[in-house]
């Protein structure tokens, strides 16, 4: 952190300084707004920046008499554009999908962030209707701060780019088939997808039949734990070092014909060694991904697009989105979105930990490097499908099961892009996942920000 600015500080550092009176929320927010103005034109992370409004909110934080009970006092945060922020439209990634009116009140997770003292500096971009693991729109692609020629992932791509570039220390995202974890892996961040029912979703029929979970993207595990506790409505938890664990390790891909490249194989090997070095046991333990799960994920993905499109001017949506919606309509009519199938996979996934006698599962986060930052929204549907499936197959099964999972950086690819791994746990293991991620961070510290 530059001594003359709060840009680059962690959320914990900022909130501690504001609570102690060592910094003002107004100055912290002003510093970050200045950095956004400098860096975001190259990144395209933000849909809208709330300059004056954010300063006014920060001043109100400074005026509060009791800052001690605000765990995010003065912390600038960004909110993904499909999550309601009072006074703004909710864009959903495109002008065609945008709500015609401004939101009258904050989404519950935004309310909780503000209630903890955070200041919303803007909303971040996502692909149309959150359907893709790459982020772009008619105005151009959002870019990865580590390499501007690469995507930051999706669908929480704008949030990830903003955090990785130091434009905010923490950003809200949501994860329907990997939309927090994939961008976290692309951008060298910590990204936790909570398990089902832990954090409010409240998207009505736009939650992809219950696949979507809200969470945060951060540069440190401590910030991830803090953000999770705020969104979950819990007291900030102090992470404790876990007792000796038995951790399953698997390279098996959930997608037929897709395998991890050499860099991602090495990331898992490095992570496995780190786990042993800090006192855990590792063992090969491959989940069995039934064909029914792959088909169920696809059917729910397509059908979610169809349900989300109701009431929208479909003819104005991107061609790739219209194709997705048409397939979703077919899936719905064929009755291929089956809760019974999901329940069976959740039971089987949960039982996996008992059957293999493992506490957590370690997998690659990605199969390949993040794809190029290009105009996917103008590309054929087939190209979009391949771009998504070929580089990021490891996240979706755990949405389908409703289990918690976290992505953690472990180094860099030979081309300089971040490398990451995924840890998956049984229901209720969010704090355990964060604790083990914290051990990674201590044993193998990572560079927190890209130099844009």
Residues labelled as active-site residues: 80, 155, 179
Specify whether the CB–CB gap between 152 and 183 falls below 8 A.
yes
What are the backbone angles phi and psi of residue 372, rounded to the nearest 5°? -60, 150
Specify whether the CB–CB gap between 416 and 445 falls below 8 A.
no
Specify whether the CB–CB gap between 239 and 438 falls below 8 A.
yes
CA-based end-to-end distance of the chain: 15
User: Minimal CA–CA distance to 419: which of 271, 251, 255, 218?
Assistant: 271
What b-and-e string marks burial along 241-274, b requiring 16 or more CB atoms within 10 Å of the CB? ebeebebbbbbebbbeeeebeebbebbbebbbeb
Specify whether the CB–CB gap between 92 and 129 falls below 8 A.
yes
User: Residue 175 has what DSSP assignment?
Assistant: E
Secondary structure of the chain: what % helix, strand, coil (to 5)? 40, 15, 45
Interacting residues of 102 by C-beta distance below 8 A, sequence separation 6+: 86, 87, 88, 89
User: Minimal CA–CA distance to 118: which of 128, 108, 107, 110?
Assistant: 110
Paired tokens of 167: 């434009």
Paired tokens of 33: 């707004």
CA 301 to mean position of chain CA atoms = 17
User: Minimal CA–CA distance to 361: which of 372, 350, 369?
Assistant: 350
Count CB atoms within 10 A of the CB of residue 357: 10
Paired strand residues for 423: 362, 406
């Amino acid at each position: 952190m530059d001594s003359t600015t709060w840009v680059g500080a962690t959320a914990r550092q900022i909130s501690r300084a504001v609570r102690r009176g060592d910094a003002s929320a107004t100055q912290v927010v002003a510093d970050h707004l200045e950095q956004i103005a400098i860096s975001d034109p190259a990144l395209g992370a933000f849909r809208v920046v709330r300059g004056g409004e954010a300063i006014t909110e920060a001043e109100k934080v400074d005026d509060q008499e009791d800052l001690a009970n605000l765990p995010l006092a003065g912390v600038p945060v960004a909110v993904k554009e499909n999550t309601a922020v009072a006074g703004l439209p909710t864009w959903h990634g495109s002008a065609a999908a945008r709500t015609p009116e401004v939101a009258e009140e904050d989404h519950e997770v935004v309310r909780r962030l503000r209630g903890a003292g955070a200041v919303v500096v803007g909303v971040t971009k996502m692909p149309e209707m959150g359907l893709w693991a790459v982020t772009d729109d008619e105005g151009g692609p959002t870019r990865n701060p580590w390499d501007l020629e690469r995507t930051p992932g999706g669908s929480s791509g704008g949030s990830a780019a903003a955090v990785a570039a130091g434009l905010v220390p923490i950003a809200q995202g949501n994860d329907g088939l990997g939309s927090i974890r994939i961008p976290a892996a692309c951008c060298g961040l910590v990204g936790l997808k909570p398990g089902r029912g832990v954090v409010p979703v409240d998207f009505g029929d736009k939650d992809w039949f219950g696949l979507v979970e809200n969470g945060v993207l951060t540069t440190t595990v401590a910030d991830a734990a803090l953000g999770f506790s705020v969104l979950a409505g819990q007291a900030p938890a102090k992470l404790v070092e876990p007792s000796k664990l038995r951790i399953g390790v698997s390279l098996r891909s959930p997608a037929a014909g897709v395998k991890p490249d050499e860099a991602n194989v090495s990331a898992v090997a490095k992570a496995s060694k780190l786990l042993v070095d800090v006192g855990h046991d590792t063992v090969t333990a491959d989940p069995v991904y039934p064909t029914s799960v792959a088909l169920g994920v696809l059917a729910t993905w397509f059908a979610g697009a169809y349900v989300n499109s109701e009431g929208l001017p479909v003819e104005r949506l991107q061609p790739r989105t219209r194709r997705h919606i048409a397939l979703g309509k077919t899936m719905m009519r064929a009755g291929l979105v089956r809760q019974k199938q999901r329940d069976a996979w959740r039971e089987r996934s949960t039982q996996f930990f008992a059957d293999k006698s493992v506490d957590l599962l370690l997998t690659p986060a990605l199969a390949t490097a993040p794809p190029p930052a290009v105009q996917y929204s103008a590309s054929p549907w087939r190209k979009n499908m391949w771009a998504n499936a070929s580089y990021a197959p490891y996240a979706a099964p755990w949405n389908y099961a409703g289990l918690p999972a976290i992505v953690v950086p472990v180094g860099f690819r030979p081309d300089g892009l971040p490398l990451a791994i995924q840890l998956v746990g049984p229901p209720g293991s969010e704090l355990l996942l964060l604790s083990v991620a914290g051990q990674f961070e201590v044993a193998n510290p990572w560079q927190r920000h890209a130099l844009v």
